Amino acid sequence: MGEQSPESARSLETAELTKAFGGVRALDAASVTFQPGRVNALIGPNGSGKTTFFNCVTGMIRPDSGQVSYRGRDLTGRAPHVVARAGLGRTFQLCRVFPRMSALDNVLVAARPGGLVAKLRGAHRRADVDRARSWLTRLGIEHLADVEARNMSWGQQKLLELAGVLMSDPETVLLDEPAGGVNPALLDRIGSLVRDLNAEGRTFVIVEHNMDLVMSISDHIVVFDRGRPIAEGPPSVIRSDERVLGAYLGV
């Protein structure tokens, strides 16, 4: 990627990232830089490559070519736990929680490497328990601490998954469709939480179809179409970009 500026050295970047499934290129030489310390959004029509991009960045799948860099470190093709330790946390479009564990235990599992083993052995540090409870409180689900995840609503499970991600203290958080299936009250809570956590220094990259949420909380938006970025900028610019309207509306 060449010599990096101080700002670039703190960024999540990709260069010429490419991934094909069969004969279809889900990512087509996608080069993107997300702004550190900001709320970034990644939007685009269905099938534009957004989730594939997240999966390549976070090590869920390996790109065919190209590079993923975070804070100047090459993370291309690294395993998910390596990516997480580098400071990247990620939620999923379909929540990944342990359905038969309580909310508190779900968050404790994410406390540190070996968290599930610690849970099975019944051994958790007091500091981890206190911190897990504080995240449940921060997300407004402390009253569900002893409730099994399977008995929580979809929106509450999304908050629980996010609490687990935050438990590992990532510098950058990637959210995959946080608004999907969430009622308006919880959606407002998620939006406020993102802005508050961003104000405290965390970077966000959000894949989302809810344009009201995207436009209200994002500082910088990248628009994908057919596996590569076609536009980027602040919400005020993206709203009126003809390329974006064409990608979404076919005009």
pLDDT (tens, 9 = 90+) of the chain, 251 residues, equals 445 444 555 689 999 999 999 889 999 999 999 999 999 999 998 889 999 999 999 999 999 999 999 999 999 999 999 999 999 999 998 888 999 999 999 999 887 555 455 555 555 678 889 999 999 999 999 999 999 999 999 989 999 999 999 999 999 999 999 988 888 888 888 899 999 999 999 999 999 988 889 999 999 999 999 999 999 999 999 988 888 777 775 54
For residue 166, give both structure tokens. 């935050």
Check residue 162 and report its DSSP letter: H
In sequence order, the β-bridge partners of residue 79 are: none
For residue 12, give both structure tokens. 């999540």
Across 151-163, b (16+ Cβ under 10 Å) vs e yields ebeebbbbbbbbb
Q: Which domains does the chain have, with CATH numbers?
A: 1-87+171-251 (3.40.50.300), 97-169 (no CATH)
Query: Positive or negative CA dihedral for 229, 55, 169, 180?
Result: positive
Q: Do residues 133 and 104 make contact, with C-beta atoms less than 8 angstroms apart? A: yes
